[in-house]
Amino acid sequence: MSRFTVVFFGRFCGGEGHALDVPGDMMGLMRAVLCYHKVGLESVEGRWINVAPATLEKHIEFFLWRGYGVLPAARIFDQGVDRAISLTFDDAFTSMLENGMPVLERLKVPATIYAVSERVGLTADWEGCGGESLATWDQLREAQKAGMEIGNHTATHASFHKLDMAGQIAEIRKCHERLVEEGLNPETFCLPYGHYTLETSAAILDAGYRTGFTVEKRHIRSIDDACLLPRFAMSYGDSVMGLMYKLFIRPKISGHR
């Protein structure tokens, strides 16, 4: 198998040169969904579930530079798609709308922002969050006008590990109805915490969705359940080199490619 050394300079690596020896077949055909949350400076948003705007921009530019398509989440599992990514942003944090949207619009790429219907315009009150501000309905409608999907992230951000099938369906349907009532058009669903049970795929279908996402760390495969597609979670420390490791090196090592 051929190998080559990838070297990045300048804006991809903060001005420093970095080299990575990569097998030649590891950066070609693949489908992956990236999972982000907050977008902001560390001094304002901290590091937890946050990325800096400049880092988000470098991530997207890396894929555009290599000729990958950036597709809406609803299309990533389409037949014939074999070299593309999708960008998703869980919880619809205000920081994402204020700091992430300008990056997406500048680079002219779509994304899906997953909203928790009963907390829109309020704060994140679920496990792992500290009361961060969430986007308003007006902000979400403006994002949709700009070409983003506002997706379904349940009504209350409940863990599906704690719900039976009826409870899961109710969470999805309640969110969907409110999003539609507010003039939004959700096409895909995203599981809070990535949690699911043996009943979840059927629950998603019963609630009217054909595409759903977890946070399993691997590429999309043609044999995957369309309601339980994997995503790679991005973190504050993920430089482009860290992104490459998560998407191209670690899956190969772990056998999940």
What DSSP element (H or E) covers 167?
helix 165-181
10 Å Cβ neighbour count for 42? 11
In a domain, 135, yes or no: yes
Distance CA 14, CA 167 (A): 47
DSSP 121: T
Distance CA 215, CA 92 (A): 17
State the CATH number of the domain containing residue 99. Answer: 3.20.20.370
Total domains in the chain come to 1
In a domain, 13, yes or no: no
Confidence of residue 252 (pLDDT cuts 50, 70, 90): confident
In a domain, 35, yes or no: yes
In a domain, 232, yes or no: yes
Question: For the segment 188-225, what is each residue's pLDDT rounded down to a tens digit?
Answer: 999 999 999 999 999 999 999 999 999 999 999 999 99
49: left (phi over 0), alpha (psi -120 to 50) or beta: left
**CA-closest candidate to residue 232, choices 43, 30, 58, 39:** 30
Q: Report pTM.
A: 0.89
In a domain, 17, yes or no: no
10 Å Cβ neighbour count for 126? 15
Arithmetic mean of pLDDT, 64-79: 96
**C-alpha count within 13 angstroms, C-beta hemisphere, residue 61:** 15
**CA-closest candidate to residue 120, choices 145, 100, 104, 96:** 96
Question: For the segment 80-137, what is each residue's pLDDT rounded down to a tens digit?
Answer: 999 999 999 999 999 999 999 999 999 999 999 999 999 999 999 998 898 999 999 9
DSSP letters of 146-164?
TT-EEEE--SS---GGG--
Of residues 20 and 147, more confidently modeled: 147
Cβ(34)–Cβ(89) under 8 Å? no
In a domain, 107, yes or no: yes
Task: Supply the pLDDT for residue 1.
Answer: 40
Query: Could you tell me the two tokens for 98?
Result: 């204020």
What angle is formed at CA 242 by the lines to CA 249 and CA 220, rounded to 5 degrees? 50
**Is a pLDDT exceeding 70 seen at residue 18?**
no
Cβ(189)–Cβ(160) under 8 Å? no
Which residues span the domain enclosing 190?
31-238
In a domain, 169, yes or no: yes
In a domain, 227, yes or no: yes
Cβ(80)–Cβ(102) under 8 Å? no
